[in-house]
Chain A
Amino acid sequence: MAPSQASHVPSLDNLIKSFNSQSLEASIESLIFLLKRRQVKGDECAKATAHILRQVVAKSKWRDVDELLSRVQSVGSRLVRSAPLEPVIGNVVRRVLGLIRDEANEDRNADDIGSEAASDIQSLTPSTTPQPPRPRPTPIRPSPSVLSSGLTVSKSMFNLLSVKAPSESPVTGASTPLSQAQPASVHALRSEVMDGIEEILDEINQADDQIAGFSDIQIHPGDYVLAYQPSRTVERFLVKAASKRRFTVIIASLESPSPGSSELSYAALRKKLNAAGVNTINLASNGLMAYIPRVNKVIFSAKAVYQNGGLLVDSGSCVAAQAAREYLKPVIVLCPVYKFCPEDPSDEVSRGELGSPGSYVSYANGSAVDALDVENTVTDYIPPDLVDVYLTNL
């Protein structure tokens, strides 16, 4: 989604701008529908998820960690369900959940110390929070016994992860003293978590550049690099490499009947590469095999990397990977860490997402529309054995 000239069209940018003016629930719902309508997709999903979770942490009312966790979980699972083929969303949600648990753990550790020595907490809390927002100290601290009863259950991360029921009873039991105690820690936790999410966002934003930093190691002078449907990540990578090396880029793309925006963006890439003195060759994907023998390496970016090492990619990349394997050319996959999923590919993933048949058959061609059953998969699954190098941002 390019930034739209017309302000009407809903987009991620518009959504982020509108965070302040609308309720949290409305923001979540609009994001869900942006995802459902594919108006936010691909790399934007990660960013969008982080942004919306930041709003959840900031705006929703929660009294303790468990409540925050369940809030984030429920919003997260709604987002994941709305775009089942964007696993990145789930990754970011998991990251945020982990972050909250970590912060909570730190706090509790601090609380433990605090319960033993109240003076310590006063010095400790400000140090953990970047900007100490009135860390109301201990006058109304709950008694250690109540606190620990609340803690014994929720201290363990794994309990937080899945089992909510047992953690509820002690919390409700301890609600009166806790609720008085909460403001300080809640406030601190809130700002800590929000800072953490901010860091995740930074990481997402910087990932491409970080990966591009490795380009000169991977691309050697005189290389012929096949970039299959270069994404923004691949573009950065190539442009960065072009500043140091002389090589040739073969840009392969699907031959689409209506070039439109994708064609334009490749044009920009070609311009940049040529300006840096790198030759580019354009290739329709059906001419791929002819060029593979000349190629030194194949580069593309993944939408997600699964636990088994398999990749979710834009359609067509699989053909490139297979061709490269046939000729024993290395396949380099660029994938920032936030795209690594701790799960196995589902059935849906291996079948691929279906797009509109419009990219292969023109709607205007009535007889073809009637006669053909066009399945246009827009994503591919690449099994792990076709990939040689995973290049991440760490």
Chain B
Amino acid sequence: MSKQGKGGGAAGKAKKPAKAGADEKGEDVLQAVILADSFQDKFKPFTLETPRCLLPLVNVPVIEYTLEFLASNGVQEVFIYCGAHSENIERYIHESTRWSPASAISPFSSLEFIRVSDAHSIGDFLRDLDKRGIITGDFVLVHGDLVSNIQLDAALAKHRARREANRDACMTVVLRSVGDQPHRAAKARGITPVFVVDPATGRCLQYEEMHPLQSEHYLDLDPAVFSHGEFEIRTDLVDCGIDICTPDVLALWSESFDYELPRKNFLHGVLKDWELNGKLLYAEILDEGYAARASNLQMYDCISRDVLERWTLPFVPDSNLIHGQTYKRVKGGNYVEDHALAERGAKVTRSVVGRGTTIKAGSVISGSSIGRRCKIGKDVRIENSHIWDDAVIGDGASVVHSVLAGSVVVGAHCRIPEGSLISYNVHIDSGIQMPSKPPARISVLTDDGQLAPTDTSLVGPGGTGALYEVAADEEESDDEDGANRDPAILQSSLIYSLEGLNISTSSISTLASEQDDYDTDNDNISLAGSVQAGDYFGSHARDRLSSFASDESASKPDGDFHNDAVNGLVDALRADDSTDFDSAKLEFMGLRLANNASDSAMRRAIAVAFVRRAAELMRPEHGGLELTKAVAEALTSKHGAVKFIKEVGVGGDGVAQQAEFALAVQRALLGELKELEVGRAGALLAALLQQLYNRDVLEEEGILAWWADKRVGEGEKMDALREKCRVLVEWLENADEEESSEEEEEDNEHDEDE
């Protein structure tokens, strides 16, 4: 904090040019980047109105903890990347007396917001950051939901020493060990990060993620790990997303345009490709200090308790870090702000009570945080709950282990059972019992931000609000990090505990369907790598097995191949200047040889490329062609494309190969579901198959074999896609009624289009 305020800012700026020259030594100013959007929706329905980093955690918006953490580590320049609700975050910061960039008392010499209009992942943020070139030296990368009191100076010093010794030591991941009897923070995280670390140097050798729902309970070590001599495999670490990075890290992000997540994609990938990029990543494992991310509701709950128990010291209520807070610790382990009134006879223990809140006689409150200006009636029971500002709770109500957002009104004698989430402005009429299994999520808004029609059977005749449901499809399109999807179920739908879901059959079926998406959504994981245990063909058995054996490790080259191949093909299809497909074909075959890609990988790449092109042509910005025209355009605009599909994509005349290709097309469409709704995707599939049939790429037997394949109907969405082709198949089966059926088919498609 040697330079602050306006004078400091000016001094910092004057220094910059000189410092850029002596970049390696540029340590005067510590920069930090806050990622204030996680592209997840684990806090819905609350995040429909408020960004995650402004949700109050023990009556303090989460981002305050993050900013204070940075300030306490002497960070001077802060860049905040906002995604959803960016204007709310900006307004909040600008109105804050402490953090506003215009404020003379801000501990940061500069604080900037960076908006990226088309970001869909954290990776997009960081690639954007690389382009801007505002990072001059080492910087700290954190998430906007971090709560930590760690002092980074030791880690920073080590990082610097390593970087000076070796330019390739570009990143230090700060981790907190939590021992073998994991603390609730470790239990709540869903995903268990697995770090393979060299204990002597702290170098990170491999990174994997495990979660309780995965089918494979094995972890495959990269053989290269063994060449390092001693190493530790650690699962006892809480990864709170604090990274100390050099600008090289951003360059790495830019090089790999498909990385989305800092851990699962980036850390894993960079370590995996160590021999290519030569970068060394280190882990700094701390045994003291507190660090956790309020990354899901369970963590939110857990951190709240930790704050109350003062693990996060000095970030505890009675430090009053926010301007205008006046918390004091009083008897019973409570933190009470001025002008909070608990009537005689009310019993409050281990709780936080904000200003202007009144608690009437006979109420029992324990382990909860209660915001400002709340009104709590007589004989209310509140346990381990989070009640935000301006909530009203009627006489005799009981609230157990739930979250009640701002301005919620709970009528008298209501019962809110464990795990309920009641979002902003919901009114619940008197005497209502909320369902306990599954716990209710009630919001006045629907997922797309519209006002939801009040469900009076749920909230009573005088209430407002309806059950908040995440439509399955919506979740697909919103959820940007498909990779996180499986454990995300653990973290979002199950609010407070892991029990129950693990053993219930429903979770297993969800898993199966999610698994499918996982394959196709995630371009860097090959299909072969995670194909379901279906019957495959002799020639592919070998590589399927090998992929299984080494899981993602071996499939990584395939992933690269897939991306390169798909992009190459799509580019060739898009190209306006040539009508020839031969060069693309040549390039594709070259890629195939270079990567030793399997037939299935090729098939998948080709299917994805054509589907993508067809889907693209249907979008308004690319001409908005109608379905059949789009398909025809995709297939025939380039000479030789159809032939290419026939020869390379299908790869033979066998019925089996044709069926496989059809399946690949279907899966590819599944991957495009982000852009298309299911019905349209199904129609597209039918059109594609039909036109391929018309062009003799697929034969009747092939399509029928595909139809009969049991993998085709696996999972809800696959099935939905399949259903759309029923007409086509029936038409094939009754080939003599060709003409009329075709028209019918066309009509159908048009109907879908509308």
**A residues adjacent to B (C-beta < 8 A):** 4-10, 14-15, 17-18, 21-23, 25-30, 33, 36-39, 81-82, 84, 258, 348, 351, 354-358, 362-367, 369-370, 373-376
Contact = CB atoms under 8 A, between A and B. Distances in A.
Contact of B30 (A8, A26, A33): A8
Contact of A10 (B74, B157, B350): B74
Contacts of A26: 4-6, 8, 104-106
Given A25-B105, A364-B181, A354 B329 contact: yes
Closest 10 CB pairs of A and B: A364-B179, A8-B74, A26-B5, A29-B105, A10-B1, A6-B153, A366-B183, A22-B5, A356-B313, A366-B181
Nearest to B11: A21
B313 A373 contact: no
17 contacts: A6-B74, A7-B27, A21-B11, A22-B6, A23-B104, A26-B8, A33-B71, A36-B321, A37-B72, A37-B321, A38-B314, A348-B329, A363-B178, A365-B179, A366-B179, A366-B187, A369-B309
Given A14-B1, A33-B107, A36-B321, 17 more contacts: A8-B73, A18-B1, A18-B2, A25-B5, A26-B8, A27-B4, A28-B105, A29-B107, A33-B68, A37-B319, A356-B290, A356-B310, A357-B310, A364-B180, A364-B181, A366-B181, A366-B184
From B3, B4, B27, name the one whose CB has the most chain A CB atoms within 10 angstroms.
B4
B320 interface: yes
B330 to A, nearest CB: 8
A158 B27 CA distance: 52
Interface string B11-42: 10000000000000001101000000000000
B177 A7 contact: no
A263 to B, nearest CB: 14
B3 A22 contact: yes
A364 B285 CA distance: 13
Contacts of A14: 1-2, 74
A29 B4 CA distance: 11
A159 to B, nearest CB: 29
B199 interface: no
A26 B9 CA distance: 12
A262 B668 CA distance: 62
Given A10-B72, A23-B7, A29-B98, A370 B184 contact: yes
Contacts of A82: 320
Interface string B168-189: 0000000011111111101100
Given A15-B1, A364-B179, A9 B151 contact: yes
Given A6-B156, A23-B104, A25-B105, A18 B8 contact: yes
A354 B182 CA distance: 25
B5 A23 contact: yes
Contacts of A21: 2-4, 7-8, 11
A214 B151 CA distance: 39
A38 B75 CA distance: 17
B328 interface: yes
A10 B151 CA distance: 11
B156 A8 contact: yes
A25 to B, nearest CB: 5
Contacts of A364: 177-181, 183, 236, 287
Interface string B48-76: 00000000000000000000100111110
A23 B321 CA distance: 21
A30 B68 contact: no
A22 B2 CA distance: 9
Contacts of A355: 310, 313
Contacts of A374: 309
B311 interface: yes
B181 A6 contact: no
Contact of A5 (B28, B153, B309): B153
B343 interface: no
Contacts of A36: 314, 319-321
Interface string B304-337: 0000011111100001110000001101010000
Nearest to B326: A81
Contact of B104 (A25, A39, A362): A25
A23 B329 CA distance: 33
B232 interface: no
B288 interface: yes
A222 B187 CA distance: 57
A261 to B, nearest CB: 11
B328 A348 contact: yes
Nearest to A21: B7
A27 B106 CA distance: 10
